[in-house]
Chain A
Amino acid sequence: MSSSEPPPNVPVTPHVGKALPHESAVGHVTGAAHYTDDLLPRYADALHAWPVQSPHAHARLSQAAIDDAAALAIEGVVTVLTVADVPGANEVGPVAHDEALFPEEVMHCGQAVAWVLGETLEAAKLGAAAVVVDYEPLPAITTMRQAIAAESFLTEALVIESGDSGDVEAALAAAPHTLEGELEIGGQEHFYLETQAAIACWDEAGEVFVHSSTQHPSETQEVVARVLGLHRNRVTCQSLRMGGAFGGKEVQANPVAAVAALGAHKTGRPVRVRYDRQLDMTMTGKRHPFLARYRAGYDGDGRIVAFDLQLYSDGGYSLDLSKAIMFRALFHCDNCYRIPNLRVVGRVLRTHKTSQTAFRGFGGPQGMVAGEDMLARVAQAVGKPAHEVRALNFYAEGDRTPYGQLVRDAERIPRIWSGLMGSADFEARRAAVAEFNASHPHEKRGLAITPVKFGISFTTSFLNQAGALVLVYQDGSVQVNHGGTEMGQGLHTKMLQIAADGLGVTLDQVRLMPTRTDKVPNTSATAASSGSDLNGAAVERACAQIRERMAEVAGRRLQVPPMDLRFAGGRVFPFWCAPGHPDHGASSLGFVELAQQAYLERVSLFAAGYYRTPAIHYDEAAGRGKPFHYFAYGAAVSEVEVDGFTGQFVLRRVDILHDVGSSISPLIDRGQIEGGFIQGMGWLTSEELIWAEDGRLATRGASTYKLPTLGECPEAFHVELLPMAAEPAVVKGSKAVGEPPFMLAISVREALREAVAAFAAESNAAPVELGCPSTPEAVYWAIEGVREGRAKQVSAAE
């Protein structure tokens, strides 16, 4: 791992920090980049699997009584998988082991109870429709309010509490002013363009090989081994690349792979499982819907003195990662604000829905939306501009979070804030918006700025480890294996840059290998934005070992102390003979020649690199610790225009200033920021999950669930990376970038709030009751609410 003082023979970094296209970009644009299901034509004798889905949200059935006679009579149907076929454990839960692969108690509408294997997909589908299952329907809990009433919980209450002045109740009682709020926050479908997919076969060694579109090959391997009753060394899992994942393939890829592997086990033939969009939406978990209830105490200036927040999340039927997700919500309700007295209590509800799961931000966004909702209301209550109230409450250098972690680099919050206010021309545009609103009775604009502080690390501390395996061949070509998976985020691109610079070779000398469990074992999911931090450090360490060994060889050859050698551009040379120096040619050695020489001298040319994040810990019971290695910061300004007749709106302009440390790959990082922002905007505006009363998901396809299109991308979209922001404790001084920008989209919601408020008569100070997501309909009702001068909550779903 790098520190601020580079080790002796670290060369310049011609690749790290350079704006390079995605390493597979040419494959993407030509169609040559393959995804898991694209491998199907290679398996001519593959069988296709299709599930028998429960029409009930909650029901009992007998696996033994599943009647497959009619299905098996259909031409092309090969077999029907039920619990009787499972040689190992009928259990695929990632943490709590509470998910049956073949259930006898159906826990959500659309759950697979059996799987049909067919020679063709058509046969499998016809077979699935012909399987007869005798369900005994049971009462189902399908809303959060029902779950609260029924005390249907998946966790205990998780608590963080801290107070300057004793307890929160006392602080609230002593506060000059208080207010209360309640907010339902919608979930979000991942809608990775590539749906869940796996192909499993018995390989030539008689072991299971699984191609899986998974963010977590090691866990997919473990679950397959668990279901088949094998040791993990008999299962190999490969994740070639994913067509998007966003957390949705962190654990939910596991049952897909398990079914494929089980089918291959039973039939001896390759088995392909690929969800279509409707299966994916009805069978896999989503971002958790939340219910937030809060009380806040504040002074006349809008300074927060106390915040008492109750969070409920809709976990669906099983635990999945819901507990850690709730913890992250707790960790982020403070966002960038020092709240002297805070109590946040979170509890995961069990409902009869898909098991909700990881999704970019991992609970952080929901906690942050609740906190920002509170601040906006306080601003309105004290009659001050929201941006002033936000800035008034910022953390300062030396402050600690409610869970006791020092807010390191807190000065970046005001630095970003004032820098962005300037570059976005905030004050002048605020005046222009006010002028526009005064002269336009039917259209109103809103302008808002919101900050982000996001903690980086898995909050489950032991997950913060990674490995890499770097192989140098005699011809100087290099293979890089690491535990991280590529889902479009550009991880492999960054790893190539780090490896090329680590060995001083050119990019085309290095190949990034598909992620496989037989190369690097016991890896963590590529998640929590940590892929590049963890794997990058491991790759760098592996390269450093090989470089040091090669430097010994080169030193002998060139008669130069190894520590004085530099590796760059595919050559090795003493630092005083850099390229351009007249003696460079004569005093240097090609990397290819050196690799050959090292081999002849019997010097090992491969190395494993290993990294663990130092000094992180968290005590759940005490609600104290240092769960994060560091924080990533950012802020965004959004301007919207709202149609007072329909509630439809347009995002006119966005300005972002974001802290990525020293960027390893600026084109990749900018892509993460922009993409995260638009995805966050989708969550907060057009993307609405609606379940019917019986627990059936009503929005089960692209025609009913609305992601942003190019039409929602603001015409003016300015993104800058915070300069002078090197993070000394991370590889190449970089910072994680996957998740933090997602929450910059809260500025859109707050801009909508500003615009809605502008429809109110001047005398009317009713708070803006803005539903979340703020669909045109939700905005319309919020406008109607302020027009009528009263808070009015009308929900489309109710």
Chain B
Amino acid sequence: MNGESLEVEGIDPHTTLLDFLRDRGLVGTKEGCAEGECGACAVVVLRLEHEGPRYVAVNACLTLVGSVLGAELRTVEGLSPQPGSRSAGRAAGPSVAELHPVQRAMVELGGSQCGYCTPGFVVSMFAEYYRREASLTPSGEPGLRWDPESVAGNLCRCTGYRPIREAMRSLPLAAEDDGFRARLSQPLAPLGEASLVREDVPGGGGTRRLHRPASLAGALALLAEEPAAKLIAGGTDLVVEVNQRDRRWPTLIALEAVDELRTLELGGEEIRIGAGLNLSELEHRLGGALPLLDELFPLFSSRLIRNRATLGGNLVNASPIGDSPPALLALDARVVLASQRGERELPLVEFFTGYRQTALAPGELLRAVIVPRRAPTHAHFYKVSKRVLDDISTVAAAFAVDLDPASNTVTRARLAYGGVAATPVRAQAVEQALVGRPWTAETVAELAPQLRESFTPLSDHRGSAAYRQAMLARTFEKFFHETQAGRRLGPQPPPSVVLPVLPPRPQKGANA
């Protein structure tokens, strides 16, 4: 932690990194929501990724301590040469010139008002600062790409974001002698096995355990031994249950260190995605191989969440409003389930068996997702939500159609939805009705009423049943019109921009 070792003992396996840090006096990391929506608790994890160590910002409120045992972490206090004091009441902090360039830009451009969200923004920006460097191409692209959504997982209630955006855009390249940058080229040990045990939990809670195996065989053995154990991967959904509904489990199995679950195989016919691969890394490593998923990623929660969330987790929690299932259903994905008994494959459409229920048998875990590589003639993803970024779907939809180029008739159609039924679903009757029909406005108009009636969605705080029902057809109409217009219609997420590379600014004091 910030370059020092912290001993972890006697804590409940459900203890979040946020609570742990604050208990240890590292109070710069804040709690704003405790459900991964506001980013005030963001901390930096140095993570061993495919290409080497990378700084990633994660929500400490959704990260269990057990998941990061043995990891190198930095909090906001550990980002400047003279870190903010751990003992309260220290008189003078660093001068503006001694701050990390990210911090300095935030100060000088008015990026903080009340300051409570600021540590989280600084942490997100810090990770982005070094990530941008890594994304520079050898071709000498004269700019740095800036993704607005890189800080979309951080909420600010005061500034209106404009100065934060300016601060982000003003950042130069990291200096050659930047110690944080130098750390990225040094080796990083992979996470190994770890465990936490707490006995005699008050209120009759018994004993609670967290195991973190370092191999798939180890994970399957633990699961065979205790089929009721709860698996936790990124934890971005599960720890919300811990924080908001006080859920506790006797045994947690953290999949963090299982390398076999973090593989990606880019085959000629199909792509096999390890279920434990986090979505940020997946997006990066896919490199555009699955265009429909590239439409999905920026809309999938926030970068902070995607840095932890896994594709497998999004499928296994089987939420009807998960965003990846519609896209994967439209792509005819299959899932690979593994247990000590062996592996089996299942079409994704058969994986969801009921509200938050799956075909996983006791002792079984989701090992991989297989996505065929064939490209439909047209395919798009739609997310209807109150906000463009960092939101949960009211309705999510993914459509894929194949057309016979000679006759302009539909040869194959996949219409998949989230948010309209107890599980992610496909409108199979309409899919069949489309086959053989011309791909025209008339066809779409004729099938729209049937599409609207395909499901009977509910009303909730995200939207009324009537709106959801309307969206069943409207999103498909939009899809059709986009195939005709040759462009996406309506508001899109704010695009990435390429900005001139600014020279590094002198910084007083040594880094890291």
Contacts and interface: CB of A to CB of B under 8 A. Distances in A.
B38 A21 contact: no
Contact of B85 (A21, A32, A671): A32
A751 interface: no
Given A243-B116, A278-B244, A711-B494, A22 B110 contact: yes
A603 to B, nearest CB: 29
Nearest to A39: B88
A759 interface: no
A50 to B, nearest CB: 11
Contacts of A662: none
B394 interface: yes
Nearest to B32: A193
Interface string B67-101: 00000000111011001110010100111100100
A526 interface: no
Given A193-B40, A704-B461, A796-B467, A29 B106 contact: yes
Contacts of A703: 33, 35, 37, 240, 392
Contact of A194 (B25, B116, B384, B459): B116
Contact of B35 (A671, A702, A711): A702
A477 interface: no
Contact of A645 (B25, B30, B32, B490): B490
A129 B151 CA distance: 37
Contact of A713 (B22, B35, B162): B162
Interface in A20-61: 21-22, 24-35, 37-42
Given A31-B27, A125-B246, A709-B387, A674 B163 contact: yes
A193 B387 contact: no
B464 A704 contact: no
Contact of A648 (B25, B115, B491): B491
B112 interface: yes
B461 A699 contact: yes
B29 interface: yes
B405 interface: no
A32 B84 CA distance: 5
B157 interface: yes
Contacts of A157: none
Contact of A701 (B25, B35, B114): B35
Nearest to B98: A26
Interface stretch (A171-179, A483-491, A575-583): A483-491
Interface in A617-674: 641-646, 648-650, 667-668, 670-671, 674
B162 A27 contact: no
A552 interface: no
Contact of A686 (B108, B148, B386, B491): B386
A788 interface: no
A612 interface: no
Contacts of A676: 160
Nearest to A70: B203
Contacts of A645: 474-475, 477-478, 481, 489-490
Interface string A689-722: 0100000001101111011111111010100000
A531 to B, nearest CB: 14
Contacts of A710: 148-149, 151-152, 154, 156, 161, 164-165, 389, 494
B76 A678 contact: no
A74 interface: yes
A677 B158 CA distance: 10
A242 B85 CA distance: 19
A33 B85 CA distance: 10
A648 B388 contact: yes
A126 interface: yes
A686 B387 contact: yes
Nearest to A442: B489
A-B interface, 3 closest residue pairs, ranked by CB to CB distance from nearest: A31-B28, A488-B114, A243-B116
18 contacts: A25-B115, A26-B93, A30-B28, A192-B157, A193-B156, A244-B116, A244-B158, A246-B157, A442-B489, A641-B491, A648-B491, A675-B159, A678-B160, A702-B155, A711-B148, A711-B149, A711-B390, A715-B494
Given A488-B112, A711-B152, 9 more contacts: A27-B84, A34-B27, A34-B88, A74-B203, A123-B202, A129-B246, A443-B490, A710-B152, A796-B459
